[in-house]
Amino acid sequence: MSDNDVTVGGARNRTAGRDYYEFNFKEASAQRDLRELVPAQRKELYDLGTRCTELGADSKDIWRAVFAELSVKQIGDITAEQFQKARNVLQCRLDALLEEEDKRRLVGKVLRMATEKDAGAELNDFCDVTFGRTHLNKLKRAELQRVLEFIQGFQVASLSIDATVSTPQRMPLREFLLIHRAHAAGLFVFGFIVGKFWF
């Protein structure tokens, strides 16, 4: 072996000598936390499911969505590690149901006020111009709040008293006789007969 040959297997010919540091990384534990849910966690999941059911959702559909997301068959199969994910699924469903409930309430309020103020056409025009659609159920919650502000601020145009109660104008005699010929002739004959007997 010549002096220029470098072997990397020995400690004598290393380029940097003692500058090498060896690190041994442990593999992440492949074991999962398979503990069952504690009663408080189970109760929290049941409470979220109950609140969703109270808002009109089918309980079977709610739990099917949770089980499908977690790849389990029943709530007893949910582990402590999966609890947070199950709670997030239920919370998202609850938030969506609350949003729908708020939208229904706002739509009802808008329609009731529009009926009271007789402003259905103005409401449709406002929605069509502002949002590009007139179907209130397809609007978002923020858009429905804008519609409610519009309908609350809407004022019915009141007619002035002069326009509603107009004094009848006098019709000239000649115009009356030309328009109401039959009445005028009957009145003339009646006056002639009454005048003949009284005078």
Buried b (16+ CB within 10 A) or exposed e, 71-93: eeeebeebeeebbeebeebbeeb
Nearest by Cα to 61 from 85, 28, 89: 89
Domain positions in the chain are: 39-153
Distance from the first to the final alpha carbon of the chain: 166
pTM attached to this predicted model: 0.57
Which tokens sit at 12? Answer: 């004598």
**pLDDT bucket at 6, cuts 50 / 70 / 90:** low
* pLDDT tens for each residue of 9-58: 555 555 555 566 666 666 555 556 678 888 899 999 999 999 999 988 89
- Quote the pLDDT of residue 36: 84
Alpha-carbon span 83 to 70, nearest angstrom: 9
Alpha-carbon span 103 to 19, nearest angstrom: 67
- Count of Cβ atoms closer than 10 Å to residue 153 Cβ: 7
Segment 76-88 shows an average pLDDT of 89
* pLDDT tens for each residue of 84-133: 999 999 999 999 999 999 999 999 999 999 888 888 888 888 888 888 88
Segment 50-67 shows an average pLDDT of 91
- Quote the pLDDT of residue 48: 92
Read off the amino acid at residue 14: R
